[in-house]
Structure 1
């Protein structure tokens, strides 16, 4: 049975972040220990929901540790370009996708290159970046250029015009707000094996009611300590941009997790974060409305009243 963590307790408002901390505590104390793909092992629960109010600029930005919201925003803008190479991210100082191509490079070449040197070569050498920096058809490719195929004679097919799901959703929100098909899907079964990492935040659905845009993210695999704080921000950010482009007010953001887990080697992070209490009321202002959702810049986003507690580091599982 899915577990729902709500932002209220006995009818009294609670800080929105308690949902996240309650879920973390539940997974850490009651989760089943399982061996996972990485070999590290996790404590895991299946099925959870959190709900966040995005009205008046509110965002689900975690305050019990620092979340690098500009990094997450740059990643989201990168997704919207359809790019699959890490080079544009590294040129902005964003290294969150380096682990997977670095691991492949080390495995296939046998060279134990340092991460910093690998990233430098990606930035400075276009040929090296093309060979080693590509992640395969990950998120952005599926979002804005989902592949199609058309007959080419005698049982043959050729690649057709890709489908821009994001543009379609913007158009449908404007022209057919009552639709139940406002969906952006990343789980392309035919291409999973070509992706460095199959999509974790895989399905987005949107719902319009009374001039407000509500959003739902289904996330199949949820690294609660490291990944989910980024995912909460990013999904809410996408919803905010879509609302602005469609002329709607932001409503409720619903996060749904499938396999919700904490890695066993994140014990220090978990215990430290659970000892902290959330505070503050961060707000996001979008300072410019570009002609399309694909033209936002990092300078268009301004966060106020965000005073997080110190960062907590932990190793990422590749």
Structure 2
């Protein structure tokens, strides 16, 4: 079984060499393999890629957003995190309230037309300012609805009750560590039609053995260049936090992906990354004496000895 950062790089090589060329909902096109697993021993270091710089602050603030059960991008923007903007922006420009220039297919058009790209950035800046400073607008267009935070913390039943899956799984780990039911699901079939983006990381499960907490994620769809490095680090951080609360050491993060793909406009970036040598992984330090997962803030995390190669930019497919 492939291990660590090299496992990620080998997945990139596999897709480039053997991936099936497929169309996708964004119109970009991908190279794809189906059914792949990687393992990361969290005692060997925090699995943040070193072959390109990955922004830990964005990962941590997004995870805290999920943990809080928040679904509005206002919290993310307040923490200078823009990774969910496009999905909220898409709803606004498709609404009757929007009266600016045509933003149809803005993701692709911004890559192909520099004049359009400048206008798109202008409209996005207007959108972000309104989210940050207009509460009514933020409530209407900043909320992404039934996404991860909602499913993790407030899963709605047919009787109208809410299930706090994350709180329940932590209690289950503490009181019945050998259970095979330490599971949180984000895939709620009833809510899929109303989601800005149906969950890519659909289900995760915890496992306790020898005083260590391990986590396995099943991800239905993985953007291997841009998204998967974030997913690896995010669930590694979640495992650290829950292990800390439950008085356990960390074990492994196991990452199982259904459709693992590289977008056609990321191929050259991936080839650049594969030419680089891996470096020692950083260490995660929790700077606070807080115990509960639900109490942590960004300032409580410190990444020690992170010395990656430079970042590699690539467009996001929306």
Same fold by TM-score, threshold 0.5 exceeded?
Answer: yes
Structure 2 residue aligned with 1:127: 136
Instruction: Kindly report which structure 2 residues correspond to 1:180-191, keeping only aligned pairs within 5 A, or say none.
Output: 180-191=180-191
Q: Does 1:137 align with 2:126?
A: no
8 Å CA contact 1:282, 1:304 repeated in 2: yes
Which residue of structure 2 aligns with residue 84 of structure 1? Answer: 71
* Equivalent residue runs for 1:216-227 within 5 Å: 216-227=216-227
Q: Which residue of 1 aligns with 2:110?
A: none
* Higher helix residue share: 2
Aligned to 1:75: 62
In the alignment, the residues of structure 2 paired with residue 49 and residue 267 of structure 1 have an alpha-carbon distance, to the nearest angstrom, of 21
1:274 equivalent in structure 2: 274
Q: Does the aligned pair in 2 maintain the 1:143–1:166 contact within 8 Å?
A: yes
Cα deviations by residue, 1:140-163 (Å, 9 ceiling, x for unpaired): 10001110233xxxxxxxx22x11
| C-alpha deviation, 1:111, in angstroms | 2.2
Structure 2 contact 152–184 (Cα < 8 Å) conserved: yes
Tell me how far 1:273 sits from its aligned partner. Answer: 0.8
- List runs of 5+ in structure 2 lacking aligned partners: 102-121
Deviation at 1:286, TM superposition (A): 1.3
- SS of structure 2 residue aligned to 1:253: strand
Secondary structure at the counterpart of residue 276 of structure 1: coil
**1:284 paired to 2:272:** no
In structure 2, the partner of 1:94 is 81
Matches within 5 A, 1:1-318: 4=1, 6-7=2-3, 16-55=4-43, 58-108=45-95, 109=98, 111-112=100-101, 114-150=123-159, 159-160=160-161, 162-318=162-318
Query: Structure 2: how far apart are the matches of 1:96 and 1:277?
Result: 27
Contact map agreement 2:49 2:281 (CA 8 A) in 1: no
* TM-score normalized with structure 1 length: 0.91
SS at structure 2 position matched to 1:114: helix
Post-superposition CA distance 1:145-182 (Å, at most 9, x none): 110233xxxxxxxx22x111111111111110000000
Please give the alpha-carbon distance, in whole angstroms, between the structure 1 residues aligned to 2:145 and 2:100. 22
Aligned pairs, how many?
A: 296
Contact 1:105–1:111 (CA<8 Å) still a contact in 2?
no
Q: What secondary structure is seen at the aligned counterpart in 2 of 1:96?
A: coil
Pairwise CA distance, 1:230:
0.4
Quote the offset at 1:110 in angstroms. Answer: 5.0
- For the residue of structure 1 that corresponds to 2:308, the secondary structure is coil
Kept after mapping to 1: 8 A contact 2:201/2:220: yes
**RMSD after superposition:** 1.2
Gaps of 5+ in 1: 8-15, 151-158
Contact 1:178 1:207 in 2 (8 A): yes
